[in-house]
Amino acid sequence: MDKPPTDKISEIYRQLYRIRRVEEEIARIYPTDKIKSPVHLSIGQEGVAVGVCANLRADDLVFGTYRCHAYYLAKGGDLRSMVAELYGKAAGCAKGKGGSMHLIDVKHGVMGASAVVGTTIANAVGYAYALKLHKKNAVVVSFFGDGATEEGVFHESMNFASLKNLPIIFICENNLYAIHTHWSSRRKISDIYERARAYQIPAERIEDNDVLAIMEKVGHAVASLRAGNNGPFFFECMTYRFREHVGPNEDFQLGYRTREEAVSWIENDPLVRVAALVDAQVRRCIEAETEAEIQDAFSYAEAGAFPCAAELVTDVFEA
């Protein structure tokens, strides 16, 4: 793999650091109950979103899961609006009507997320169909977890996207667990990418939570789609969730996984690996800027007003 240029690496570091620190701040605030929204933190998994979105333009689209903070931010979603949404404030990205699991930023191509596993895969495919029908040059990325690949909608969507050669890239974030259940209790087949190949979709696994490998391989797929070649593409990105399924804490005490299992992933943390590639002074500068931005976003959310009572009944139908 060619080494990416220094400024690209710095930008990757900024994204990884920013997402990590936003979520650590969410975790820090959480016990105060100011955020009354179930949070599914991406800590440990940021590299997938960052590696993928490093290749995307503002007019590209992403669809995803309730664990949506990382790709929302990586795709350019507005930080202030996100934190305000978690606080349930009127200035939130969904006016306080979505919550942590349904972040959206239409302007930046973040097209929403579902609390029901697998659901947005089909929505992403439909969007890709519209792009192809109208001969648009943009691409769609569908993020989902390994659990989603057990849903019927996953297979139906793979089949249709393949049948119509749609401009979509499927990103399976394989963190080994669906809530607290290890993949081996849910599937006989370990290699998820093989399932995509069964639909004649070019597919591969990217090991080791490797943000730079993800960036490079997905970059080739994006370039191919931009050149007008047929999609879809499929990547199974191996990653690991450091915190509990939902909530701000670790959960090794539950016993469904061990700290020993986590150690290799934590030692292999993409944030730490990329940090080592960035000049110390550049890093300090990025960190200082990011901390200021985060402080601003949380202050903005704290200061914001809650939605007024009339908002209860608006937005069900077109006014």
Taking the complex as a whole, how short is the minimal distance between the CB of residue 83 and another protein, in angstroms? 15
Cβ–Cβ contacts within 10 Å for residue 7, how many? 9
Q: Is 230 in the site for another protein (CB under 8 A)?
A: no
Looking only at residues 163 through 202 of this chain, which bind another protein when binding is defined by CB under 8 A? 163
Half-sphere exposure of residue 133, counting CA atoms within 13 Å on the CB side? 6
Judged by beta carbon, residue 41 or residue 103, the one nearer another protein is 103
Which of 21, 25, 97, 216 lies at the binding interface for another protein (CB under 8 A)? Answer: 97
Residues in contact with another protein, shown as a per-residue x/- string from 267 to 306 under the rule CB under 8 A: ----------------------------------------
Question: How many angstroms separate the first and last alpha carbons of the chain?
Answer: 53
Kindly determine how many residues on this chain lie close enough to bind another protein according to the rule CB under 8 A: 41
Which of 11, 37, 95, 205 lies at the binding interface for another protein (CB under 8 A)? Answer: 95
Taking the complex as a whole, how short is the minimal distance between the CB of residue 220 and another protein, in angstroms? 25
Judged by beta carbon, residue 64 or residue 112, the one nearer another protein is 112
**Strands ordered across the beta sheet of 233-238:** 110-114, 61-65, 140-145, 168-174, 233-238, 203-206
Q: Is 114 in the site for another protein (CB under 8 A)?
A: yes
Provide the sign of the torsion angle of the four alpha carbons 65, 66, 71, 72, taken in this order. positive
The two structure tokens encoding residue 160: 């249709």
Name 280's Cβ contacts closer than 8 Å, sequence gap at least 6.
none
The SS3 call for residue 103 is coil
Element housing 169 (H / E): strand 168-174
Pair 304, 84: CB distance under 8 Å: yes
Judged by beta carbon, residue 106 or residue 272, the one nearer another protein is 106
The Cα 241–Cα 304 span in angstroms is 31
Strands 140-145 and 177-178: unpaired
The Cα 114–Cα 125 span in angstroms is 15
Residues in contact with another protein, shown as a per-residue x/- string from 34 to 73 under the rule CB under 8 A: -----------------------------x----------
Closest to 64 in 3D by CA, of 109, 14, 19, 13: 109
The Cα 65–Cα 215 span in angstroms is 20
The two structure tokens encoding residue 198: 């069964």
Taking the complex as a whole, how short is the minimal distance between the CB of residue 117 and another protein, in angstroms? 10
Which of 6, 28, 116, 229 lies at the binding interface for another protein (CB under 8 A)? Answer: 116
Judged by beta carbon, residue 102 or residue 245, the one nearer another protein is 102
Looking only at residues 123 through 162 of this chain, which bind another protein when binding is defined by CB under 8 A? 123-131, 133, 152-153, 156-157, 159-160
Which of 88, 98, 147, 232 lies at the binding interface for another protein (CB under 8 A)? Answer: 98
Q: Is 316 in the site for another protein (CB under 8 A)?
A: yes
Judged by beta carbon, residue 44 or residue 99, the one nearer another protein is 99
Would you tell me which residues interact with another protein (CB under 8 A)? 63, 92-98, 102, 104, 106, 111-112, 114, 116, 119-131, 133, 152-153, 156-157, 159-160, 163, 314-318
